[in-house]
A and B are shown apart, each in its own frame.
Chain A
Amino acid sequence: MASYRRANRRRYVLLVLVLTSITLITLDSRRDDTGALGVVGRAAHRAVSPVDQAVSAVVDPIGDWFEGVTEGGSLKNENERLRRELGELEDEQRRARTALRQNAEFRRLLDLPILDDVRRVTARVVNGAPGNFEWTITIDKGQEREISPDMPVLGPDGLVGRVLEAWEGGAKVLLLVDPESAVGVRIGPQSGIAEGVAGSDLLRVELDADAVVAIGDPVVTSGLENSSFPEGLSVGRVVEVEQQPAGLGTTVRVEPYSQFDALEFVQVLLWVPGQGPVAVTTTTTSTTTTLPLPPTTLPAEDEE
């Protein structure tokens, strides 16, 4: 009798676990961020945040040291190359600044939103993705700095991604290269959606068969209605153009400007999709940063 009960209980253990799992997978509503599971997820992130930041503070300098030891030789050459490039870029930047100023004046005259007016929160990258099937980073600022899901995140070179979830003391950012990421972009006169591809460093954009695209073309956010991103953020450049057979369309591969592995600091644009910039509240006097960051539309290398 006892052994019969034992066998039954053993079978039930696995059955109960499987049924619970299937129910939870089906119910999981964390994506809408308001369900009970979302609350539990945020609480877990908040609890682990201090450990995350402590580990990052210990591990990052060690990683930098190893990099310094192993790549010391190539750094000298790289330094020389960068100095050369800097001279060329300074001239380009002067012209770009003038163009940006003019652009801002025109936009003010036309009563259009100006990206420079959107407040930004600078945050440190403390961790990479916790799993193997997502391309995310964790940053050290969150709800306490008015960061909320879907806000655009910029790096020193261009768009990085968007906020996925935010809690007190941190936020998770979905990178452009994640297969779940989709960004409305403009390439020349055409607009499309730049999607991440699992395991690839490039984004894919499907355009019409008659699209006019050349390798090296700059790709910027389109900012169309309901887009998660304001218009004109630099995304990357076209590196591959492939015509589909039988006029089915053009597949364009885009290399993001952002170096996701090397990100140390990012800026979150306090911009809510569909609503625009977050208004300044009296309680947050010091949350804004005035660092001038380039990722507004700068002329690309091939533009004169």
Chain B
Amino acid sequence: MRVGRTAVVVVLLVVMQVTVFPHLRFFGVVPDLGLVFAIAVAYYHGPEAGALVGFACGLLYDLFLETPLAMAALAYALTAYAVGLLQAGLLRAPRGISVLLGGVGGLAGGLAFIAIGGLAGVSGMWTAHALEVVALSAVYDALLAPAVFWLVRQLGSPERDQAQRWLQR
């Protein structure tokens, strides 16, 4: 995975998230594009790379949100790290793994976000409505996941992985 290319994709995804997707709401919710990207990176390149990319995506997205800065960064980093650990335990990839991870990861990331928000004192986080939003958003994430996983595969194979090399030095 090329670091420079990945950084460009992170910026483009966040710009799409805040400019295009508010117009493409699905049952009133927007997806977490950055979270799905971080999950895909964690799946292909391990938990640390996933956590770093999740943190970067989340922090950029946070700049546009009214919730405290780094809330999405923390939720995305933790979720991607967990997905990376989970992937290491998989013997072989079942069919439709991207949809499954997009949905389950989206749900976990959304729950982490509202849990952190509640702790940080943000209104409306620990409510039934928030759970409903997280569930719908996870469905949206699952639908987008195959495209995002494909995108991560285009960014380079693990053998040429700069991030991994840095971590293994």
* Residues of A participating in the B interface, judged by any CB pair closer than 8 Å: 6, 9-10, 13-14, 17-18, 20-25, 27-28, 30, 37, 40-41, 44-45, 48, 51-52, 55-56, 59-60, 63, 127-134, 136, 164, 172, 174, 179-180, 197-200
Chain B positions near chain A (C-beta within 8 angstroms): 15, 17-20, 22-23, 25, 29-30, 47-48, 51-52, 55, 59-61, 63-71, 73-74, 77-78, 81, 113-114, 116-117, 120, 122-125, 127-130, 132-134, 137, 167-169
If A22-B70, A199-B133 are given as contacts, then 19 extra A-B residue pairs at C-beta distance below 8 Å, sorted by A number, are A10-B47, A14-B47, A14-B78, A14-B81, A24-B69, A30-B69, A48-B15, A52-B18, A59-B20, A60-B23, A128-B23, A130-B18, A130-B30, A132-B137, A133-B124, A179-B124, A198-B129, A199-B128, A199-B130
Query: Closest Cβ of chain B: how far from A33's Cβ, in Å?
Result: 12
Is A13 a contact of B167 with CB atoms below 8 Å? yes
B30 touches A132 (CB 8 A): yes
Question: Max chain B CB contacts within 10 Å: which of A48, A51, A179, A198?
Answer: A198
Once bound together, how far apart are the Cα atoms of A176 and B48, in whole Å?
A: 41
B23-A48 in contact (CB<8A): no
Q: Which of B64, B68, B124, B127 contacts A44 (CB 8 A)?
A: B64
Point out the residues of chain B lying under 8 angstroms from A136, CB to CB.
66
For A174, what are the chain B residues with a Cβ–Cβ distance below 8 Å?
A: 66
Beta-carbon nearest neighbor of B58 in chain A: A21
Across the interface, which residues of A come within 8 angstroms of B47, CB to CB? 10, 14
The answer to whether B167 and A9 touch across the interface, beta carbons within 8 angstroms, is yes
Question: Would you list 10 pairs from A and B whose C-beta atoms are within 8 A, ordered by A residue?
Answer: A14-B78, A17-B52, A18-B78, A24-B70, A45-B63, A48-B19, A133-B114, A133-B122, A136-B66, A199-B132
Residues of A within 8 A of B78 (CB): 14, 18
Q: A129-B22, A130-B65 are in contact. Are A199 and B124 (CB under 8 A)?
A: yes
Alpha-carbon gap, A201 to B69, bound state (A): 27
Residue of A nearest to B24 (CB): A59
CB-contact partner of B65 in A48, A56, A134, under 8 A? A134
Residues of A within 8 A of B113 (CB): 133
Q: A25 and B48 in contact (CB under 8 A), knowing A14-B77, A44-B63?
A: no
CB <8 Å contact, B48 and A127: no
A164: which B residues are within 8 A, CB to CB? Answer: 66
A17: min CB distance to chain B, Å: 5
Interface centre among A18, A129, A130, A198 (most CB of B within 10 A): A130
Who on chain B is nearest to A200 by CB?
A: B129
B124 and A21: CB pair below 8 A? Answer: no
Which residues from B are CB-within-8-Å of A30? 69
Q: How far is the CB of B13 from chain A (nearest CB, A)?
A: 13
A18 to B18 CA separation, bound complex (whole angstroms): 24
Residue of B60, B69, B129, B168 near A25 (CB, 8 A) is B69
Of A17, A22, A52, A179, which one neighbours B19 at CB under 8 angstroms? A52
Partner of B67, one of A21, A40, A133: A133
Query: Is there contact, CB below 8 Å, between B51 and A17?
Result: yes
Q: Is the CB of A22 within 8 A of B167?
A: no
Within the complex, the shortest CB–CB distance from A222 to chain B, in Å, comes to 22
Rounded to whole angstroms, the CA-CA distance of A22 and B77 in the bound complex is 12
Does A10 lie within 8 Å of B48, measured CB to CB? yes
Return B41 CB to nearest CB of chain A, in Å.
13
Contact residue among B20, B23, B70 (Cβ-Cβ distance under 8 Å from A20): B70
Closest to A199 in B: B129
Instruction: From the candidates B64, B74, B130, name the one contacting A22 in the complex (CB within 8 A).
Output: B74
Cβ A55 vs Cβ B64 within 8 A: no
Contact of A21 among B61, B70, B128, B169 (CB under 8 A): B70
